[in-house]
């Protein structure tokens, strides 16, 4: 039996988690020395970033973050998801391990959490409680359980000490990025760090997640494209979320499905994202593939994990609306102005790199203007954008952080597009967006 299958205890104390971060830093430092010596011996003069972003260093980071879990792993997941087509493929593949199952708690640690939440006789509540989790992620793991009345539940159990470690984990990861030189010291990331801490604290509040779960059940209603499990309030606490077990396969199985099925699933994903942004004003901002399941027999998407659901400010809704309509109009100047207003582009970068920005907008507009359904599988334009973006990125004085609300929304938008690309789906995005041409934004939906 492997160490992973036995489970690895979550470091709960500040010293234990600090030691985990220390091992990440130490491993990277050792990797830098080794790789630097190798390249110097080969007659190269490597840059520091080239020494940091090696596959071995990425593997070290992925392994340690998977063991720490909590905010540290969550931030690693965000980097791996949001990196998209920016990081080298081998690094993206290694970091993608963080989107799969984490190490899980050993039985003794699990029993301690459930005893604290439900009492010493907690096993009597169930006909059967499956000790080995059916899923394990950054903040908690999920177990299958059968109730005496015949119901089957999915029980999400939070790792011990996670909520108390969030602030320190975020600060430690930020320090790691600073020390690595991947972020310029002039870039003010304090607002982003503050918001990351706030959202992660919200994700660790399972009572809040249960409320969001029920809110989404109401919003989705009887739409035949989706399934949202119901919750069990009697068994749910701040650290345990009990909900209906809904069968479904990993959404990645759709990659082997026929074109029509892939298109249907992708259309449901895009339609959901547009409803969240332009109709409901509330969005589940974590597009991790593990948060979806596919029911082949019903053709429905199962929606899971609402800890990252958040209300979207009307100002952000309106800004996205202007940007998208400008894109549909094909007006390059209008897109540039809307991109700055939305916060995607900084005014300084736009002014200094106007020609580059216009070329990037031109590439995107050419893709949008192609007749027929939008082909997410056609990624020929991505290398062109990557090359243009790399030129701008070299000018670190113009680096810019979009508003926090925009970052979280864009994470969902980009993640949805990435999943549609994995499915090589074709979707009439233009037609779907046209339905919101005259949308107005004020009070939030639901």
401 secondary structure, DSSP code: P
From CA 229, how far away is CA 154, in angstroms rounded?
9
Rounded CA-CA distance 110/122 in Å is 12
- 247, 265 Cβ separation under 8 angstroms: no
Which residue bears the tokens 């359980």? 145
Structure-block tokens of residue 308: 């990252």
What is the rounded CA–CA span in Å between residue 370 and residue 407? 28
Instruction: Please give the Cα distance from 14 to 169 (Å, whole number).
Output: 9
User: What is the rounded CA–CA span in Å between residue 88 and residue 54?
Assistant: 9
What is the DSSP secondary structure assignment for residue 222, as one 8-state letter?
Answer: T
Joined tokens for residue 300: 């429905």
> In the Cβ-directed half-sphere of 4, how many Cα atoms lie within 13 Å?
11
Per-residue tokens: 141: 């793991």
Alpha-carbon distance of 394 to 318, in angstroms, equals 31
Q: Does 82 qualify as catalytic in the annotation?
A: no
- Give the C-alpha separation, 183 to 188, whole Å: 10
Burial class (CB in 10 A: 0-12, 13-18, 19+), 428: middle
Q: What does the block give as tokens for 176?
A: 């790691």
Cα torsion 117, 119, 125, 126 to 10°: value is 70
Quote the DSSP letter at residue 288: -
Catalytic residue among 169, 232, 286, 405: 286
DSSP one-letter code for 7: -
Q: Report CA-CA distances (Å) from 107 to 114, 115, 133, 236, 393.
A: 11, 12, 10, 20, 47
For 136, residues 6+ apart whose C-beta sits below 8 A from its C-beta are: 101, 102, 103, 104, 142
State both tokens at 8. Answer: 């690895």
The catalytic site residues sit at 286
């Amino acid at each position: 039996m492997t160490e992973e299958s036995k489970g690895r205890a979550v470091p709960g104390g500040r010293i234990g988690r600090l030691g985990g971060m220390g091992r990440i830093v130490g491993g990277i430092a050792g990797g830098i020395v080794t790789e630097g010596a190798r390249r110097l011996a080969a007659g190269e003069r490597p840059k520091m970033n080239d020494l940091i972003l090696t596959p071995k260093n990425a593997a070290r980071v992925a392994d340690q973050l998977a063991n720490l879990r909590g905010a540290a792993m969550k931030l690693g997941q965000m980097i791996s998801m949001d990196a998209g087509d920016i990081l080298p493929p081998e690094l993206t593949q290694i970091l993608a391990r963080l989107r799969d199952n984490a190490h899980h708690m050993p039985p003794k640690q699990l029993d301690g959490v459930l005893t604290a939440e439900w009492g010493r006789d907690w096993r009597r509540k169930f006909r059967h409680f499956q000790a080995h989790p059916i899923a394990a992620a950054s903040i908690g793991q999920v177990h299958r359980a059968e109730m005496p009345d015949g119901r089957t539940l999915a029980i999400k159990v939070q790792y011990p000490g996670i909520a108390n470690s969030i602030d320190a984990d975020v600060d430690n990861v930020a320090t790691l990025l600073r020390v690595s030189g991947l972020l310029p010291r002039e870039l003010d990331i304090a607002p982003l760090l503050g918001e990351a801490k706030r959202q992660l604290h919200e994700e660790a509040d399972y009572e809040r997640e249960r409320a969001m779960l029920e809110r989404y059940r109401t919003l989705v209603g009887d739409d035949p494209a989706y399934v949202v499990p119901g919750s069990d309030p009697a068994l749910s606490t701040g650290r345990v979320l009990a909900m209906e077990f809904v069968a479904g396969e990993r959404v990645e199985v759709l990659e082997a499905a026929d074109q029509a099925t892939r298109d249907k699933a992708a259309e449901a994903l895009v339609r959901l994202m547009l409803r969240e942004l332009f109709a409901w004003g509330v969005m589940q901002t974590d597009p991790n593939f593990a948060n979806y399941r596919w029911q082949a027999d019903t053709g429905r998407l199962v929606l899971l994990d609402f800890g990252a659901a958040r209300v979207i400010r009307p100002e952000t809704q309106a800004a996205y609306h202007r940007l998208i309509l400008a894109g549909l109009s094909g007006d390059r100047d209008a897109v540039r102005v809307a991109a700055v207003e939305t916060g995607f582009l900084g005014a300084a970068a736009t002014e200094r790199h106007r020609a580059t920005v216009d070329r990037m907008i031109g590439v995107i507009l050419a893709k949008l203007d192609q007749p027929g359904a939008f082909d997410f599988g056609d990624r020929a334009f991505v290398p062109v954008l990557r090359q243009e973006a790399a030129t701008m990125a070299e000018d670190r004085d113009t680096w810019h952080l979009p508003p926090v609300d925009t970052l979280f929304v864009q994470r969902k938008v980009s993640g949805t597009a990435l999943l549609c690309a994995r499915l090589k789906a074709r979707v009439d995005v233009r037609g779907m967006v046209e339905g919101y041409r005259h949308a107005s934004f004020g009070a939030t939906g639901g």
